[in-house]
A = this chain, B = another copy of it.
Amino acid sequence: MRRGGRHYSSASSGASSNLLFQGEPEQPVVKTQIPGPKTIERRQRLDKYQDTRAVHFIVDKHASKGNYLADVDGNVLLDIYSHIGSISVGYNNPFLKEQFRNNIDDYTSAIIARPALGILPDDQWIDLIEQSFERCKPPGFTDVFTAMCGSCANETAYKAVFMWKKAQERGDKAFTQEELDSCMKCQAPGTPNMSILSFEKAFHGRLFGSLTTTRSKPIHKIDIPGFDWPAAPFPSIKYPLEENKEANNKEVQRCLEITEHLIKTYKNPVAGIIVEPIQGEGGDNWAPPEFFKGLRRITTENNVAFIVDEVQTGVGLTGKFWAHEHWGLEPGNEPDIITFSKRMQAAGSFHKHKFRAPQPYRNFNTWLGEPVKAMYLRDILKEIENKKLIENVRTTGKFLKGELEKFQKGKYSDKVKNVRGEGLFLAFDMPTAELRDQLVDGLRKEGIESGGSGVAALRFRPQLIFTQKHADLVLNRLDKVLKGL
């Protein structure tokens, strides 16, 4: 079945648990403390030029393979963090390397003369859009806006929303001289006091507009100026779901009511809202489809744009190509804008035609994305399709979630809480932040590279080639580390 020009949505035969990446190591190898002596020496050298306080270890990129990330000390880790959820089809993927070599003239000329796509796109750019973005565009969207990273994907979406809203108010009228003059001083009416509503614990990026809508942790926001834009609560869901239906329904209704109240009353009028399908940085907070259906209803009724931030959830890891497809929105009732980056490599947004700026040069910049990223996306999509990787995510995800739930219900009921998520986009809470950090450290000593989310969650962000064999290895190490905590 092919929907919206795309090849990924249909489930067919069950994926096998056979390895999807040939030639991987059999299991992790830990030879030294991590960070090891070579990492420490190289990190010191790097620290002359850049802040290295967040560095886990120094990677040996040529020795990394498939799901396994090697470091310069000869350690080889099974990676369930994937560079903060941004790698999808395997380190040193041979198919991608082959595609690269087969198309080297295109790749080199795209890198050597990166075009200003808004004024001088090349002939191949049109083919590339059709071979990449169009192949994974969800139903209901017309346009793709190409950008550089998740933050600017979101901020250019916000700009599109503000322009759309003001164009509605303005109708056929031209800009007034007062608007033209006042905007040069960043004053009303040319610079409007409008806002984007986001949700508590959200993460939408780190530049000035996107950081305003980020509400995950103080360390992201402190000391940086921000706009006076509203935040609504994101549902705090109780697990297991089947035992907490009524409480969760009430919580969803509470959050929807506050959202609508803020939209109707906030002093700086709300032009759009932005939400993640699962809050992937602020604690892996999942919410049921009813919440998002409610947001669609409220935004439509109040003439406010509905932006879905799929920077972390997009590209198959939830078991559908786009996580918002889990919500079952009716055709014609889709969100207005979907933003993407990370596993897409090519950042930007899909949007409905009405969010194209009313005049040229308004949602514009020098590069407007980059052809080489679209080439790479094209090749990644082929690999996802050829190896049925989204089916693998569903199968492996079901297995892994089931096993984590056994931990939660069984021998680790005091430590493993609130197992949740979709596909392989999974998480659970530890009782405290300290225990979570000890778990991440303990796993690394056992050869598993993982990461936290929010205050006390462990997040799973494996690649799409993560199979039951890898899940077994992780569960085995998890068991061992949890036992010792």
Residues of A bordering B, CB below 8 Å: 42, 45-46, 48-62, 64, 69, 72, 83-84, 86-87, 91-93, 96-97, 100-101, 104-105, 107-116, 118-126, 129, 133-134, 142-146, 148-152, 155-156, 158-159, 162-163, 166-167, 175, 179-181, 183-187, 190-195, 200, 205-210, 212, 215, 218-229, 231, 341-342, 345, 356-357, 359-367, 372, 376
Contact A186 B228 (CB under 8 A): yes
Contact B58 A119 (CB under 8 A): no
Nearest CB on B from A111, distance (A): 6
Residues in B neighbouring A125, C-beta threshold 8 A: 46
A55-B120, A186-B226, A207-B209 known; A367+B149 contact, CB < 8 A? yes
Nearest CB on B from A200, distance (A): 8
Nearest CB on B from A178, distance (A): 11
A113-B64, A115-B61, A206-B365 known; A50+B225 contact, CB < 8 A? no
Among B123, B190, B208, B229, contact of A209 (Cβ-Cβ < 8 Å) = B208
Residues in B neighbouring A215, C-beta threshold 8 A: 184
CA–CA, A51 and B118, complex, Å: 8
CA–CA, A62 and B112, complex, Å: 11
Contact B366 A342 (CB under 8 A): yes
Nearest CB on B from A147, distance (A): 9
Contact A123 B42 (CB under 8 A): yes
Nearest CB on B from A285, distance (A): 15
Nearest CB on B from A115, distance (A): 6
A112-B96, A118-B54, A143-B50 known; A162+B366 contact, CB < 8 A? no
Residues in B neighbouring A86, C-beta threshold 8 A: 114, 116, 366-367
Contact A364 B105 (CB under 8 A): no
Residues in B neighbouring A84, C-beta threshold 8 A: 116, 119, 366
A209-B208, A229-B186, A365-B151 known; A142+B48 contact, CB < 8 A? yes
A83-B120, A175-B222 known; A114+B183 contact, CB < 8 A? no
CA–CA, A212 and B187, complex, Å: 10
CA–CA, A180 and B317, complex, Å: 33
A120-B69, A152-B149, A222-B183 known; A61+B364 contact, CB < 8 A? no
Contact A83 B225 (CB under 8 A): no
Residues in B neighbouring A115, C-beta threshold 8 A: 59, 61, 83
Which residue on chain B has the smallest CB distance to residue A215? B184
Contact B345 A51 (CB under 8 A): no
Contact A175 B121 (CB under 8 A): no
Contact B206 A207 (CB under 8 A): no
Contact A83 B51 (CB under 8 A): no
CA–CA, A74 and B108, complex, Å: 22
Among B50, B126, B218, contact of A183 (Cβ-Cβ < 8 Å) = B218
| A50, A125, A156, most chain B CB atoms within 10 A | A50
Contact A114 B345 (CB under 8 A): yes
Known: A64-B113, A69-B120. 10 other contacts (CB 8 A): A42-B126, A46-B126, A58-B123, A61-B113, A61-B124, A149-B365, A166-B223, A186-B221, A192-B223, A207-B207
